[in-house]
Amino acid sequence: MFSLILIFMTGCGTIKTTNSFVEKLKSHDNEGAYTLLSYDSPHRNDKTEFGDFVDSTLITRYKFNSTSVESGIATVEGYIIDEGEKIDIAFTLVKDNGTWKILNWAPLE
């Protein structure tokens, strides 16, 4: 029972972080989205480039329906609608100081 509760709580945290990140992308909140990136994220290398990416997104809808955690790395899968195109996507998250943060994302094939 305890492990089931732990899995549920972990899944909620990863989905919550992913939803917050995508909401910040959707509203073009560069600084807010940047703060949700893991310290190890390759997208933290150039804050200006990341800001340009955020400003260019045209996300209108999104939904995440799958989460898994293995060896401290979480994967959240779902889709986004960006510029009218549905993109199946996976976000990878890791914990930074006990908080789930976005490490990376990529379209699903």
**Tens digits of residue pLDDT in 68-108:** 999 999 999 999 999 999 999 999 999 999 999 999 999 99
Examine the pLDDT at 8 and tell me if it is beyond 70: no
| Helix segments in the chain, DSSP class H | 2-26, 30-35, 47-56
Residue 12's pLDDT is 66
- State how far the alpha carbon of 34 is from the alpha carbons of 3, 7, 84, in Å: 32, 27, 24
CB-based burial, 69-108: b 16+ in 10 Å, e otherwise: beeeebbbebbbebeeeeeebbbbbbbbeeebbbbebeee
pLDDT tens for 17-35 read: 999 999 999 999 999 999 9
Mean pLDDT within 37-50: 94
Where do runs of H (alpha helix) occur along 27-109? 30-35, 47-56
Q: What is the pLDDT of residue 4?
A: 36
Residue 87's pLDDT is 96
* Average pLDDT for 37-46: 95
Domain ranges of the chain: 2-107
Whether residue 32 contacts residue 101, with contact meaning beta carbons closer than 8 Å, is answered with no
- pLDDT tier at 109, thresholds 50, 70, 90: confident
The C-alpha R_g of the chain, in whole angstroms, comes to 14
Structural class in CATH, domain 2-107: alpha beta
